[in-house]
Amino acid sequence: MVCGLLRPDAGSVHVTGRPVSTAAGPAKQLIGFVPQDVALYPDLSVRENLRFFGRLYRLPRRRLERRVDEVLDLVDLASRADDRVESLSGGMRRRLNIGAGLVHSPTLLVLDEPTVGVDPQSRHAILESVTRFGEEGMAVLYTTHYMEEAERLCDRVGIIDRGRLIAEGGPRELVQLVAERDRVRLTAVGDLSAYAEACRRLPRVEGVARGGDRGDVVELVVKDARSLLPDLLDLAHQQAVGIRSVEIDEPDLEAVFLHLTGTALRE
């Protein structure tokens, strides 16, 4: 809807005061969209892809060539400019995907989960680039399932659950919603699904989710974790669940999401 591809059921979207609609119009010229799936031509070179997307916005030839060179530097692909996209690594393709959304110098850049499936080095490069875009005055709308990215990058955060905006504000402002809560991570073995459901019924437990690479972590948002910990351990004993480790952390945006929705982030 922000990009004008879908008509909103209610309300409107404006970019620099211009209304965005499903029809072609000046507002769409101000928007750069970077989809989650890489949308590039694999048999064209890096430079040819950027030229193609620039021509869609009818950039004059001289301006286009200058802008392509600028974008190649921005996404750190100048040394691969004449290589075919099919020869690039996954992280490089992600960076070029962002470059395609930048080539016409948009006022608003919409990024849909740009770091999904990339290696740590490419992820760091992408996050550094997004930070730089904001510092240079570009508005960035960034969608992500990684709350640490939202905390690092965003001035304002909106939390959406099942298609509804349930909270909005600055990261610190949202964390204040759970300022008196703790986030508890229990690494354990046993029937953790049943244990998590039993934990959910305890007083002062406000959110429960499964986590960990092997599904061996139960995460909770609770009030006064230290006084509740004996109850959590007793319940684990009753459920024949073996607790391997316990971590108690200060609240963060992940804790806010757990508190507001009662569950973990869903794909």
Domain tally, the chain: 2
Radius of gyration for the chain, computed over Cα atoms and rounded to the nearest angstrom: 23
Does residue 124 sit within a domain?
yes
Above 80 in pLDDT, residue 231? yes
Q: 143 has which bridge partners?
A: 112
**Non-local CB neighbours of 16 within 8 Å, separated by 6+ positions:** 27, 30, 107
Q: What is the pLDDT of residue 263?
A: 67
Burial class (CB in 10 A: 0-12, 13-18, 19+), 18: middle
In this predicted model, what pLDDT tens digit does every residue of 188-213 receive, in sequence order?
999 999 999 999 999 899 889 988 87
- In this structure, are 185 and 138 located in the same domain? no
User: What is the domain range of residue 125?
Assistant: 14-143
Q: What is the pLDDT of residue 255?
A: 81
- In this structure, are 40 and 136 located in the same domain? yes
- In this structure, are 37 and 92 located in the same domain? yes
- In this structure, are 187 and 106 located in the same domain? no
- In this structure, are 63 and 18 located in the same domain? yes
- 142-to-7, 34, 51, 261 alpha-carbon distances in Å: 20, 10, 25, 20
- In this structure, are 19 and 112 located in the same domain? yes
Q: What is the pLDDT of residue 258?
A: 81
- In this structure, are 130 and 196 located in the same domain? no
**Non-local CB neighbours of 241 within 8 Å, separated by 6+ positions:** 188, 189, 190, 191, 192, 195
Above 50 in pLDDT, residue 267? no
Does residue 211 sit within a domain?
yes
